[in-house]
Every structure is written in C-alpha cells, then in structure tokens.
Structure 1
Amino acid sequence: MIDKIVQSTAEAIGHVDDGSTVLLGGFGTAGMPDELLAALIELGPRELTIVSNNAGNGEAGIAALLKAGLVRKIICSFPRSADSYVFDELYRAGKVELELTPQGNLAERLRAAGAGIGAFFCPTGFGTELAGDRETRVINGKPYVLEYPIHGDLALIKAERGDRWGNLSYRKAARNFGPVMATAARKTVATVHEIAELGALDPESIVTPGIFVSRIVKIERVATEAGGFRKEA
C-alpha cells in the first residue's frame, strides 16, 4: 500500500548531505515551506545551494536558514527587498554567493530539469552581465543565450491538500514554483493543511501528481492575533 504520509517534518526530510542543492517553493512569503525550513535548520546540513524566487524576508524561512550559516550559494530572481537584511549583510561580507536569474528563466530552467531537457536557448539576458560567458546564438534573426537546467537534490514545497499517494493541490499564489520544483528534484517533500481521502481530490485540481512526491506531512494553520488564520495570498 502506497502511503507517503509521515508524522513530522524532520522525518519527512530525512538525511540531507552537505553541499546539497535545495529547491524552495513559494512566491515571496506565499507558499513558503517555513515548517520544513525550520526542520532543515535543525538537521544542520552545511554548504547548501538554495534555489528560490527570493532571498528571504525578515528572519524567518530562508532568512533563518541563511542566518544559521548553512547556505553557500543562492540562485534566485529577487535577492533584495525591504526586509532582506540577512541576505544583504551576508552577501556584502562575502559569506554567501549569488546567482541572479530572471524569474522566467528560473522557472524554465527548473521545468527543463523535470522534463529531461539538456539545455535551451532563451532571449532574456542577452547582451547583459546576466549572460556571463555562456554560448549565444542568433536564431531566425533574434539573439539567444544558452541556459542550463537546475536539478535539485531536495525540493521543499507547501501545498494546500494532499492524499496518501502524494497527489497535491495548491492555494492561489502558493502554487508558484512548487509544481516545477517537485519535478526537478530527486526527492520532494511537501507540507499540506489537509489530508484528503483517496479519490476525494478532483483530478482536475491535482497540480502535482504523486509520482513526483516522496513524502507529505500535515501542518496546522497559523493563528493570527485577530483570532483567525493566516492564509496564503
């Protein structure tokens, strides 16, 4: 019987080697797998390469991982925001590397990894420092830059609902990056707010099929000071 449900975030993640590449789903704070990140910090693997849309907010989530000194490099699209001071300080001190990747390129590099594509040409970044020393070509009169897939050793994502086979559905912007990251990693771990019975998820609403998911763990919604619950954007 296939049952990918586990009882704790630490058990869900399991062992993580030093130097691993970890893909982190979400879009800003929406869909960020904070509970899994907290467990990863407790596990303590070092020299990690983190792939995410951004470089953290305040001192939670990715910022907490950075502050713990576990990250060697971050690949992201938006490293700076009003409250990205943890990343700013580490980057300026030369303690963390940055590979800046336009958001569309980032999504496509992850999708390419999951689809088994060896490389692709993309126009974004041509003629800028982002192109680096990568190969360029003119195709049908338009210039392109060669981009390579981003493969992950581990993907940590947050979904809304899941079943014991690992099928996942998401809530609004929390869906961003999670689905492509799930396909691009050797191991994918997801948190969900609700465990559904087999067959209860509408097939049309299943965004990530269970074949791409290794383990899921249920987490509670976070209560707000107003007495309600924090919801994704």
Structure 2
Amino acid sequence: MKFQTSPSTTRHWRLAYLGLALAIAVFYDFFLYKVHYGFGFFLFVSLYLIGFIALAELTKQLHQKWALWFALPILVLALDVVFFNNDLVTNYLPYLVALLLFLFSVTITIKNPHKFLFSFAKIPLVSKFDQPIVKWFQIFRDLFTSKESKHDRLYKNIAIAMVISAPILLIFGELFASADAVFAEWVHNIFDFNITLEFVWRIFRTFVLTLFIGGFFYVLVDPSYILGDKKMNVFKID
C-alpha cells in the first residue's frame, strides 16, 4: 500500500523535528542534569508535549488522536514531582514519566491503514530499539546536504528576525533577571561557562542526546512506521 507524501517526509520538516530534539536536549542539560527535580521537570515535560504535539499536528502525524488523553496524567505526574519530595517521587516518578512520554509518542504517531487490532507489541519501535540509531545516517544526510531550495529565502528572513529580536530579548531578559532571583540564576547558569573538560563534556552529551531523540522522532514520522498485524493463535480442540 502506497502512502501519499506528507510534510514529514520532506527534509525541512525532518530538520524541524531535529530542532525540537536539540531544544529538549539543551533544556535537559541546563535544568535537569544532576539537579534536584522541581518546577524545571514540569517545564521540561510541558515543552516536550507541546512541541511534539504541535509539530506532529503540522506534519499530519497525529494518527491516533485518542492517545492525546494520556497527556493529562503525564502532566499530573510531572506536577507531583514539583509538590512532593518523598523518595518514591524523587527517585522513581521521573522514570515513570519518561516511560509514559515514550509510550505516548510511539502510540499517537503509529499509522494503522489496515485497521489491525491495536497491540503495543506490534509497534515497530517497541520490538526494534535500534531503529533510532539507524536513522542517524539520514540525520547527517539532511544536515549536510548542499542542495538549494526555495526555502533558502525563508531561512534568511528567519535569521534576520533573530538578529533584530536578540537585543530586545536581552533587554527584557535583564529586566526579568533583576526582578526574579530564580530566573537570574537560570540565566547565569546558561551564560556562565568556560572552555573546560566539563564544558566539552556538556557539548558532547547534548550532541549525543540530540541524536538519540532526533533518531527517535525520525522513526516516528517515517512512512514505514506502521502497526503490524497481531496474529491470533487458534487451538483446535478435538
């Protein structure tokens, strides 16, 4: 069965997913790595859900929209990390939320053109965990292709807009930093760095995490990401 070309099959939309993966990896490095989970964890989960759902909607990859209901308990559990500090919450709940985010992502994007009976075991990514790594080759091809396209002008306009908005963001950032001590500490953590082994390790860690998350997203939006058939064993009784 052939599928029509969707936005997600184009290089630019795949790179948009890679950009989301980079944002998630950077957020994790600054606000979650080796720190006490708190409100930053809830923001991280919210960023993932909002970014992924929005991008999946834009690329027409929300194939199982009933799975959107799972976002609610995920957010509730993420809030529990903010308000409760017992060992069960701090040591185990973040891993449960991560697992639920994984299941949410692989479920909501799975295509089922043959109307097979739904089964987690028949989701390709569940049975083949190496698929995101295989997608690294496609990621590098997308990143380093030299083919020009009609979107180049759009990218130039975006770059110009970023240059213009940077001073404005700096001004408002300074105002927020002077008014909020927590925000000021976050800004300090972002911009206070030296070229040390720790800094190089952070760059490498973020790069690898981006590859894993990006490969994960590439699998989810691939046209071949289709639910398999669940074979029912029939026993003959004489």
- TM-score above 0.5, yes or no: no
State the structure with bigger RCO (CA 8 A, min sep 6), 1 or 2.
2
- Which structure features the higher share of strand residues? 1
Greater fraction helix: 2
TM-score, normalisation: structure 1: 0.27
**TM-score for the superposition, normalised by structure 2:** 0.27
